[in-house]
Amino acid sequence: MLEPSHDLMLRVLEAFLARGYEHLTMVQLAEDCQFTRRALYHYFSSKESAYRAVIRHFNVVAVAAGLDAGRAARRAGGSALDVLATTLDIRYGDTRRRLNRSPHIFDLNAEAFRRGRDIMIESAIAFHAELEALIRELADDGLIALRPGRTPAELAQLLTDAARGVNQTLPPIATEDYAGRYRQIVEAILFGAAAPAAAGEPVPGRTEG
């Protein structure tokens, strides 16, 4: 098989977004990519292989873009919150914003987990390692100080778990609200959203019965 270019992968992606997985045929995919069907088979052996290639390619793109955006925020003088929120927003948010344009979002999401789960796991592991390294950099630069017993690996896992949760939250988040929600979860994880009440003190907002 030939290695598809980024331009070709964009065309394949747009075909799936426009037509969904179930009803897209290789003939239609070839037409949307401005290829003959025979030429398209030099790149993909089937519709499933084309979809798996889309998942793999755009996960790699999203990871790289997220890390680049985070480091750009750091060079611009951003805080640890700015850096991590930007990184997660581009890594996870861009994918969701793209999917939200499609009337076939539920079909495409289900097929991604059915046919590309192994690719998604590989990507998650790779991004986790990169995010852990980024957190170490922030700590070394004095932008963040981990509490005793906490590790960069643990923080990276918490952040990635929470970011994936944002993409699946119900009711769904409006497309324009993803960046703000990622920032909220990063802030809550980094600095906490609550503190334990002292023994015997009333908990604010709770009515004693």
Give the CA angle between residues 118, 65, 62 to the nearest 5°.
Answer: 25
Q: Are 15 and 25 in contact (CB under 8 A)?
A: no
- Domain of residue 178, CATH code: 1.10.357
Residue 203 domain-assigned?
A: no
| Burial of 88: CB neighbours in 10 Å, binned 0-12, 13-18, 19+ | buried
Section 167-193 average pLDDT: 93
Residue 163 domain-assigned?
A: yes
Tell me if the pTM is above 0.85.
yes
Q: Are 99 and 123 in contact (CB under 8 A)?
A: no
Task: Give the domain extent around 137.
Answer: 52-191
> Is residue 113's pLDDT more than 50?
yes
Rounded to whole angstroms, how far apart are CA atoms 176 and 52?
28
- Number of domains forming the structure of the chain: 1
Please provide residue 126's backbone torsions phi and psi, each rounded to the nearest 5 degrees.
-65, -45
Question: How high is the pLDDT of residue 209?
Answer: 47
Omega of the bond prior to 171 within 30 degrees of 0, cis? yes
> Is residue 199's pLDDT more than 80?
no
Question: How high is the pLDDT of residue 196?
Answer: 79
Residue 164 domain-assigned?
A: yes
